[in-house]
Chain A
Amino acid sequence: RKEVEQDPGPFNVPEGATVAFNCTYSNSASQSFFWYRQDCRKEPKLLMSVYSSGNEDGRFTAQLNRASQYISLLIRDSKLSDSATYLCVVGDYNQGGKLIFGQGTELSVKP
């Protein structure tokens, strides 16, 4: 079983749609959680950190369920510019803080 698993997609949605990505992780000792965005094989960039209480940044909402070892990302009112691959990332301080990446979920937003 992979340490971090995501549905690879692709998710094809129309502009304005709401789309949700899910991610599960296997290491119960994991302590830090992130969503990264990657465009067309360019370098990944941080989209948002994920906190236990859940957090929101504009159209993006991230949730963490430690009991189920599950992370989610919700994108509301999708824009064409949201088309990218979204990477779920999990870190463990007990392993020196190294970050483990899921394989990514591809999103394509169509006009």
Chain B
Amino acid sequence: DAEITQSPRHKITETGRQVTLACHQTWNHNNMFWYRQDLGHGLRLIHYSYGVQDTNKGEVSDGYSVSRSNTEDLPLTLESAASSQTSVYFCASKPGGTGELFFGEGSRLTVL
């Protein structure tokens, strides 16, 4: 079955370290998204991509970057992790138009 997977599921890191969260989907969806979820804020869009070599900033993109070198993967990189980036991160993908958004199981990141 097609699916979307995230790794690692849990990570603890130190302030200032570079961290990359992986996201891989096998549906061949063009559209991929990264959200973070924090108490009191709900899901907030970090970055998104509509296809290979396309990336766009969301509402909370500072301190994050993404790259899209193929259809299946959209890794999220924290260049220099900060405690404010402690959160649960969800990757999602969907086909174009009004298609349903499918989420990965989430990655819980703690920055000490």
Contact = CB atoms under 8 A, between A and B. Distances in A.
A45 B103 contact: yes
B56 interface: yes
Contacts, number: 52
A88 B98 CA distance: 15
Nearest to B100: A46
Interface stretch (A14-22, A53-61, A68-76, A98-106): A98-106
B88 A41 contact: yes
Interface residues of B, number: 26
Q: Is chain B's interface secondary structure helix, strand, loop, or mixed overall?
A: strand
B90 A43 contact: yes
Given A41-B88, A96-B50, A32 B43 contact: no
Given A41-B88, A43-B106, A45-B103, A32 B98 contact: yes
Contacts of B105: 42-43
Contacts of B94: 97
B42 A97 contact: no
Interface string A81-110: 000000101010100111111111000000
Given A97-B97, A101-B35, A42 B43 contact: no
Interface of A: 8, 32, 34, 36, 41-46, 49, 87, 89, 91, 93, 96-104
Given A98-B58, A99-B101, A104-B42, 7 more contacts: A34-B101, A41-B88, A93-B97, A97-B94, A97-B96, A98-B48, A101-B42
Interface of B: 31, 33, 35, 37, 40-45, 48, 50, 56, 58, 88, 90, 94, 96-98, 100-101, 103-106
